A and B are shown apart, each in its own frame.
Chain A
Amino acid sequence: MSSRKKALLKVIILGDSGVGKTSLMNQFVNKKFSNQYKATIGADFLTKEVIVDDRIVTMQIWDTAGQERFQSLGVAFYRGADCCVLVFDVTAPNTFKSLESWRDEFLIQASPRDPDNFPFVILGNKIDLDNRAVSAKRAQQWCQSKNDIPYFETSAKEAVNVELAFQTIARNALAQETEAELYNEFPDQIKLNANDNGRNRDGDNCAC
């Protein structure tokens, strides 16, 4: 059972609509880029086997709808995630700006055991376009300010850095898994630790 747990890494891709989540996933898994993708509705996932540090692991990569309104749906999919990939479009500063809220939202919904050290990876996508508007420096700075999240500049269209980024994702997810192993014996554990504080805060606001 534990070997099975270890072998499957659940990765969630989040980000504003149109930043290239589906494209990134397909570029990584199928090595293809298509300009035919439609807006993702609901959720879909692809799996791919990767080798991380001599181990074969299966990545289950979940692609989600980008419009924040559909996030309520996400809860079911976030559960048990091992890594969260946040994507923005380097030509669209707004998508960069919403990274923060995507990250917060994920932490609230997925409520990982150790939110401070939960592995995130940031991808600045579409670097093949020339109307770039978010500098690498700015993105880098933000990532550093958030507990040194790894940052990659990618192009799903031209397959730049995609492989590298997902290798990192797998590695970080695996590291997280290994740490988590002890606790995973009881999947339905009741968590009374720090991450509940965040929840309570929200709950208080609601007061319903």
Chain B
Amino acid sequence: MHCPEAALVSARVLAAEGAPATRSASGVERRPSAPRPPLCKRGSGSLLSGSPPTSRHLWIRIALFERQLAKIIEHLVNNANRYYERDALVADPDFGSILSSLLVGPCALEYSKAKAPACFWTDPPADELVQRHRMSAGTTTPPSVRRPILNFKRSLNASSDDGSSSNTGTGKTAGSSAKDYVESLHQNSTATLLYGKNNVRVQPKDVEEPMPGYLSLHQTAAGLVIKWTPNQLMNGYAESEGIDKRRTFALFSEQPRNRIAPTWTIRPTSLVAEGYRKAMRHSLLERAVQSPPRTPRRPLASTSTTSSDSSTMSVDCPPSAGLNGHPPLTPIPHQPVEQAASIELVCSTMRRQIISRAFYGWLAYCRHLSTVRTHLSGLVHPIIVPRENAEGGLTDERWLAMSDESGAIHDKDEVYRLVYYGGVQHDIRRHVWPYLLGYYEFGSTAEERAEQDAACRRQYETTMSEWLCVEAIVRQRDREATAASIARLTEASGKLKPTDNNDTSEVFEDDCSVISDNPPIVSPEPSENEQRRPDKPVLSRAPSIDEVDNIEMDSERDKETKQNGETENGDNRDVDVDSLKDLDENEDVHLKSVVDNPDMRRESIAEIKRLAEEIVQKGDGRGLLCSVDSAHVNGTGSDFRSSIDESGPSPHQQHTSVIITNPSVDLAAGGSPVSGGTTAQVSPARSPLGVVREESQSAGASFDTLEPADRNAQDNRSNCVSPASSNGGVYSNELVESFALNLHRIEKDVQRCDRNYPFFTDENLDKLRNIMCTYVWEHLETGYMQGMCDLAAPLLVMMREEAHAHALFNSLMRRATDNFPSGQAMDAHFADMRSLIQILDCELYELMHAHGDYTHFYFCYRWFLLDFKRELLYQDVFAAWELIWAARHVASEHMVLFIALALLETYRDVILANTMDFTDIIKFFNEMAERHDASAVLSLARDLVLQVQTLIENK
């Protein structure tokens, strides 16, 4: 006998095995060649013995997918004598048929749709979720134009409870909805059961005699709801008629936006005993008006139990098995009482109970809310700045109109207001941003600003010249280390004769800590090793972007130098770099650099850099690394001696903490004592292990600093410990190391910062790098932190000019530093978000609360750290940032919170509908990055600020 289902399945199996990548034509998506999950270990399994063992059970899976498994098994059972031995399970008349009928259930399920809500880790991508939501909520308003958040009544996640309370007795006649309804009476996620009582007799209008029923008081997001349900319905019989006998009394809390004290109304949707209702309304109104909550609250522990115990009602009955083990739902009144008296008693009891419970609940909740509100009042400004005529934002014309003849802008409040409500026209952003960030003062004239710019540029370049010197040292060390490391590697592979007496088997050797792109750590090495260095292979390090750049720059600078320091601009050339490269008897290189004042031009910076590198390279050719051995160096102006040792820092020198800017530079050789500047001497006596090598002499270069370091001492911008001068300064070893660490990190991040954005060519990336390095040099104690690049990039895009962008970045970081791990702001943000959500969107809050992990709101981390830079496209980032900056002066110091909240609110329905947990939501927002409708989000954010302001105002 032939089984058609088996034929179908085996054809599918063959197809799946033959072409693992193809999807079946039926549209059922399978995991090809996937073996059976554990389910298959049900005995009787291996039928198609022809299949390879790995996919032996594949047919079961496919049969299940095709919903044919039960039929196949049935076929097997019916024909067991053909396939099985006599004592096989399937062959047994009883067990066989049981088995086949057991499988009917599983086969009724749709397996191709593998997304049960429970398996959260196979959730569809964020896009799909949003799409789905749009489809399913096609009739509802799009998120951006939704009704205000405070008064929500959701249709999406609406339980039957919501439906029944708002439109009682309509629609729901199907058995399933009756069941839903009954379940809604229980404690559930959307409604809290505050009170429940069995066998409350009520006489509906259209019914002859009082009926016993279940009276319950629920607290939902919308307010209080009282329900009375006839016992017939409760017990599930008489479903057909039970539904419309259900009576629900809904107590709505209307929550108008502008009122802190909503009125409570009772809307009986069917008639009840009049006294009962009156009493209820009376007492509730009386108290509710005083201090009702804005939103319901999680139940107090004590209110969530049904209280059959404390009741003194005359109508009562022993609880017997009701519905699904829910005990207190029994229909039979054991003691029929007179109707009127019964109702009266019911009323008084109910009143007492409801009032006391509800009132204390409210009281506690109101206290809590008032605390939260007090807390929130710090988040927004108390005064609401009107929006009139600000929609257009700050346009070119308005901007021009605002500035007076000297180019000064005075009306800062108006600027802030316009920017807050309407943003800045793109063309004038670069003029407005410096004001918004507090770099330009309002009221400053055009000349003053130009002056400020010039000063800022000078300062920037001075700072740059400082760290460029250190960078040269770092580069040199890197090369050394790379060489060492590669040499070691080559030696290890036996290509070179093993001259290294260091133990390579040691896992973490010091030398491996210093290399190309990595934070080098200057590590003491036995100098014996290094003596044999001259034959080490040439460095093969791939030059980084900036290095290539530098090399190019160097050649340019060479020309410039030949022109004897002519600059392109020709103005303000304060620096005369006179470099002489003499080879004296000792083959020392004397460099002479005259720095008249710190106002260095870019050219001179490059010059210094070039010289430094030159020396470095010179040393490099001989495998030279400079080290300074000095016992007493205290920053500027003190004498110190440096011993130049070709072999690099020796163990002896480990404790010396000073290094000269330019390696292998002998400052003393040509140094003028008059300068009181840093003086270093080649000091053979101090070279490690007392070994004096020829090279140490011959490789020495002397750097003649006429300008002492302490001339620059007044330049105390730099709050790092550096006693640095712009040239020929002294840098402690720790400082060099710490800068090197930062430098490498910066380079790594700059290289991968927004490389898909056309602006960031190599040239502009180099600018970004300079900004970062300069900032870090000025803030070496905090150092570079990932994310800074992202914050600086839009500023550079907007300002184009390095020094300017750096100045703005400085202003920006004044606030943003706290968001980084070294600061405290992030935790505060998370806490504020919690409070805000609690106040503004309790439904979402409930969901988050249900998943405890939400407490930290990590999905917001990147938002706050980068001011949404990664969440939005560049154009939108500009707008968002302006909003944040302007909001400080208009509405809220913490605009980021409200933008975050707006983002969350935009997708709240998706989040709720999919009951996303901690991980889902992280994934969701990561996938949604740069896909948001920014203008909608920002305007929602403004609305939210207004809401909170209104809330506070009406306190």
Contacts and interface: CB of A to CB of B under 8 A. Distances in A.
B785 interface: yes
Interface string A5-30: 00110000000011000000000000
B482 A133 contact: yes
B830 to A, nearest CB: 11
Contact of B858 (A3, A69, A73, A130): A73
B489 to A, nearest CB: 6
B505 A141 contact: yes
Contacts of B516: 91-92, 131, 133
A201 B919 CA distance: 32
Interface stretch (A46-54, A152-160, A164-172): A46-54
A97 B521 CA distance: 12
Interface residues of B, number: 62
A69 B821 contact: yes
Contacts of A133: 482, 485-486, 489, 512, 515-516
A38 B119 contact: no
Given A54-B36, A131-B540, A47 B512 contact: no
A36 B745 CA distance: 17
Interface stretch (A60-68, A104-112, A191-199): A60-68
Contacts of A91: 515-517
B610 to A, nearest CB: 25
Contacts of A97: 508, 512-513
Contact of A17 (B54, B119, B748): B748
A132 interface: yes
B870 A41 contact: yes
Contacts of A7: 119, 121
Interface string A107-143: 0000000000000000000000011111101100110
B453 interface: no
A132 to B, nearest CB: 7
B625 to A, nearest CB: 17
Nearest to A99: B508
B508, B787, B858 interface centre (most CB from chain A within 10 Å): B508
B37 interface: yes
Interface stretch (B127-135, B248-256, B264-272, B861-869): B861-869
Given A135-B492, A137-B492, A145-B507, A65 B540 contact: no
Interface string B487-503: 00100110000000000
A100 B508 contact: yes
Interface stretch (B164-172, B749-757, B809-817): B749-757
A174 to B, nearest CB: 13
B755 A36 contact: yes
Contacts of A137: 492
B821 A56 contact: no
Interface residues of A, number: 52
- Residue from A3, A38, A73, A94 having most chain B Cβ neighbours under 10 A: A94
Contact of A41 (B31, B38, B492, B865): B865
B121 A58 contact: yes
Interface string B742-771: 000100110011111000000000000000
Contact of A67 (B513, B786, B790, B922): B786
Contacts of A131: 482, 486, 516, 540-542
Contact of B923 (A3, A44, A138): A44
A51 B518 CA distance: 38
A38 B752 contact: yes
A182 B519 CA distance: 45
B508 A73 contact: no
A41 B790 CA distance: 10
Nearest to A35: B755
A169 to B, nearest CB: 16
Contacts of B512: 93-94, 96-97, 133-134, 138
Given A39-B752, A97-B513, A45 B786 contact: no
Nearest to B492: A135
Contacts of B541: 131
Contacts of A77: 858
What is the interface of chain A mostly: helix, strand, loop, or mixed?
Answer: mixed
Contacts of A141: 505, 507
A43 interface: yes
A94 B519 contact: yes
B452 interface: no
B538 to A, nearest CB: 12
B817 to A, nearest CB: 13
A69 B822 CA distance: 8
A100 B753 CA distance: 28
Contacts of B36: 54
A93 B923 contact: no
Contacts of B122: 47, 49, 58
B860 to A, nearest CB: 9
B556 interface: no
Nearest to B35: A54
B848 to A, nearest CB: 14
Contact of A51 (B35, B118, B517): B35
Contacts of B513: 93-94, 97
B789 interface: yes
Contacts of A134: 512
Interface in B443-491: 482, 485-486, 489
B798 interface: no
Contact of A45 (B505, B519, B922): B922
A8 B751 CA distance: 35
A29 B424 CA distance: 42
Contacts of B119: 4, 7
A17 B866 contact: no
B791 to A, nearest CB: 11
A94 B515 contact: yes
Given A38-B870, A39-B752, A58-B122, A92 B517 contact: yes
Given A39-B749, A39-B753, A131-B516, A67 B785 contact: yes
A92 B856 contact: no
A133 B485 CA distance: 6
Nearest to B929: A44
A180 B787 CA distance: 37
A41 B786 contact: yes
A73 B514 CA distance: 28
Contacts of A130: 540
- Which of B38, B789, B853 has the largest count of A CB atoms less than 10 A from its CB? B38
B363 interface: no
Nearest to B820: A69
B486 A76 contact: no
B754 A38 contact: yes
A26 to B, nearest CB: 13
Nearest to B863: A42
Nearest to B511: A93
B79 interface: no
Contacts of A42: 858, 861-862, 865, 922
A8 to B, nearest CB: 5
A56 B753 contact: no
Contacts of B865: 41-42
Nearest to A95: B518
Nearest to B782: A69
A138 B919 CA distance: 37
A41 B866 contact: yes
Nearest to B54: A54
Top-10 shortest CB links A-B:
A93-B512, A94-B518, A42-B861, A18-B748, A42-B862, A67-B786, A133-B485, A142-B507, A92-B518, A54-B35
Given A131-B542, A138-B512, A141-B505, 10 more contacts: A17-B745, A38-B790, A41-B862, A42-B861, A45-B919, A56-B37, A76-B853, A77-B858, A131-B486, A138-B504
29 contacts: A7-B119, A17-B786, A18-B748, A39-B789, A41-B870, A42-B861, A42-B865, A43-B858, A43-B922, A44-B923, A45-B919, A47-B121, A49-B31, A54-B36, A60-B121, A67-B786, A69-B822, A70-B821, A73-B821, A76-B858, A92-B516, A93-B514, A94-B512, A97-B512, A97-B513, A132-B489, A134-B512, A137-B492, A141-B505
